[in-house]
A and B are shown apart, each in its own frame.
Chain A
Amino acid sequence: MRSRMFKKLALVAGVVAMAAGCSSYSRTDKAQTQISFGSSVARKGLWREAAFRFERAVQQEPNNARAHNNLAVALEAEGEFARALAEYKRALELDSGDSYIRRNYARFAEFYTSYTRTTGKASGGP
């Protein structure tokens, strides 16, 4: 009898906890929420959706270096290299000490230099 009650309690607690976890995605007014959701879809390869989310995060917090970095990565994945460059630069301006942003930018710069050398112009540029 008691064991059944415990099981029921456990289930209820689980459902409540899950709902609490999911509810963070519904607070879309927060940049952090957008980054969190965007990164989860990015890891599934849904880069268009991720770019949309990171764009929203940048709108909500224009001085968030992490949002600019993530947006740059998503734009790269979409082939919008010129815009990605601008976003990486902005991310570095905001947080030049972040090793992940610096590493991303270095790798992108290497790729982008060879890309523009061969194409003569930036893809996705104005």
Chain B
Amino acid sequence: MVALRSASRRAGALVLLALLAALPVSAGVAQVKLKLPLKPRLPLRGNEKIALAPFVIATEAEKARDKRLQNVDLQAEFQRFLKKQIEKKTKLEIVELPTDLKLPTQNLSELGRSTEFWRALGTQTGAEIVVSGSLEFRVEDRSGYKTEEYVSPIDGRTYYRQVYVEQTGFLFDIVFLVFDGRSGEKILQDEFKDFRQTGGRRADELQGLFENLFSLENQILNLFVARDRDAERYIFTD
């Protein structure tokens, strides 16, 4: 009798399980993850020869006054970063430029109009695309008093108090100019900005620079190759 009851219970459980399995996916809404495909900004085949010309350093004049900027060779660090990213993540072929190459001007608008210079450079090196532009990197002391909420352990009430917070801000601004190596014409101009803030007054400037660069990596590479971007959306399931 007992065996019969337990068998019927098991059978009941089985029926319940089968019914549950057959139920449609829970009604309502589901969150889905997307990888948004981003087409490259430049209309390239993908295997062009590319030359990385020097960039105008917008903060060069401030270097003499700001000790922290003196510790960073912005031109060299950025060129190294860009070269590495292009070599690693694109099929573009980087062509070397003469080491003593000087830009015809330090003015960005004039640089964009220096068609002759870019055409000559393209012809001389065989580069189909030439990249240049301007770089700006600033280290800012953002320390100061900030208002903070405080719950008193004595009376349990909320008070506001002023606390001194030490912070350093890193601002990075790149303007890209991309030229056609055959015609010397500017084919693209774009600007990317990033701001990072870290705790502590004496945060390392080189580390800050790379924080900026890595956060802009996707956008920079998207100039040359397709990239994707993570996103979350909701879909209705019924």
The interface of chain A, by Cβ under 8 A from chain B, is 2-3, 6-7, 9-11, 13-15, 17-22, 24, 32, 35-36, 39-40, 42-43, 47, 66, 69-70, 73, 76-79, 100-101, 103-104, 107-108, 111, 115, 118-119, 123
8 Å CB contact of A36 from B15, B37, B233, B238 = B238
Q: Are B19 and A17 in contact (CB under 8 A)?
A: yes
Judge whether B76 is part of the interface by a CB distance below 8 angstroms: no
Chain B residues with CB below 8 A from A78, complex form: 37
Q: Are B39 and A3 in contact (CB under 8 A)?
A: no
Chain B residues with CB below 8 A from A103, complex form: 234
Starting from the known contacts A22-B22, A104-B233, 19 additional A-B residue pairs (CB-CB under 8 Å) come to: A2-B4, A2-B8, A3-B3, A3-B4, A3-B10, A14-B19, A18-B22, A32-B238, A39-B30, A39-B237, A43-B32, A69-B236, A77-B35, A79-B37, A79-B38, A79-B39, A103-B234, A108-B233, A115-B38
Alpha-carbon distance A126/B48, docked complex (angstroms): 29
The interface of chain B, by Cβ under 8 A from chain A, is 3-4, 7-8, 10-12, 14-15, 17-19, 21-25, 29-30, 32, 34-39, 41, 190, 219, 222, 229, 231-238
With A73-B34, A107-B232 in contact, is A21–B23 under 8 Å at CB? yes
Q: Are B237 and A73 in contact (CB under 8 A)?
A: no
B185 to chain A, nearest CB (A): 17
8 Å CB contact of A6 from B8, B37, B235 = B8
Chain B residues with CB below 8 A from A42, complex form: 32, 235
Chain A residues with CB below 8 A from B38, complex form: 79, 115
Alpha-carbon distance A108/B235, docked complex (angstroms): 13
Could you list 22 examples of A-B contacts with CB < 8 Å? A7-B10, A7-B11, A10-B15, A10-B18, A13-B18, A14-B15, A14-B17, A14-B21, A17-B18, A17-B22, A19-B22, A21-B22, A35-B237, A36-B238, A39-B237, A40-B237, A78-B37, A104-B233, A104-B234, A107-B232, A108-B233, A123-B39
Q: Are B236 and A39 in contact (CB under 8 A)?
A: yes
Chain A residues with CB below 8 A from B4, complex form: 2-3
Alpha-carbon distance A107/B7, docked complex (angstroms): 54
B92 to chain A, nearest CB (A): 19
Alpha-carbon distance A2/B18, docked complex (angstroms): 20
Chain B residues with CB below 8 A from A21, complex form: 22-24
Alpha-carbon distance A78/B36, docked complex (angstroms): 7
Chain A residues with CB below 8 A from B190, complex form: 118
Chain B residues with CB below 8 A from A104, complex form: 233-234
Q: Are B233 and A24 in contact (CB under 8 A)?
A: no
Chain B residues with CB below 8 A from A101, complex form: 234
Chain A residues with CB below 8 A from B233, complex form: 73, 76, 104, 107-108
Alpha-carbon distance A35/B237, docked complex (angstroms): 6
8 Å CB contact of B19 from A13, A32, A77 = A13
Alpha-carbon distance A11/B22, docked complex (angstroms): 12
